[in-house]
Amino acid sequence: MVDVGAKRATERRAVASGEIRMSAAAWTAVRSNTSKKGDVLAVARLAGIQAAKRTAELIPLCHPLALTHVGVDLALTARPRGVRVTATVATVGPTGVEMEALTAATVALLTVYDMVKSADKAMRIEAVRLREKSGGRSGHYKAR
């Protein structure tokens, strides 16, 4: 891991997002809450939060961080049919939370896939990316 011991603690925040595209049948199962595995959006939200908290266990060289906020929002999109996820993570510390936000978004999307794969095995997870980050020496970044 990179030594961050000499860096001062600052407020840090990151936002990541992504999408999953799906068939009409899968989309309807999510919208109508008829997935055999339960409430897709609620479970995916919790999975994303849990993933952010466990990022250092999944990504070998990530620092374990005391997170001060994790928010995972999921929304159905009609055109194209799918679910969009936005994950926001914050901490006060010597290193950023970009990996935690990206992990939260990705795991939330994987959870959606898992919960409705019986209706559509051809779903596509797309456009996972860092949207914004702030704090630390590198300052503010916002994707265009």
How far, rounded to the nearest angstrom, does the alpha carbon of residue 86 sit from its chain's CA centroid? 6
How many residues are listed for the chain in this entry?
144
Quote the crossing angle between the two packed helices 40-53 and 24-31, to the nearest 10°: 90
Distances (CA, A) of 68 to 37, 42, 80, 90, 136: 30, 21, 34, 6, 16
Check 3, 39, 73, 114 and give the catalytic one: 114
114 part of the active site: yes
Q: What is the spatial distance between Cα 43 and Cα 29, in angstroms, rounded to a whole number?
A: 14
Residue 101 near residue 107 (C-beta atoms within 8 A): no
Active site residues: 114
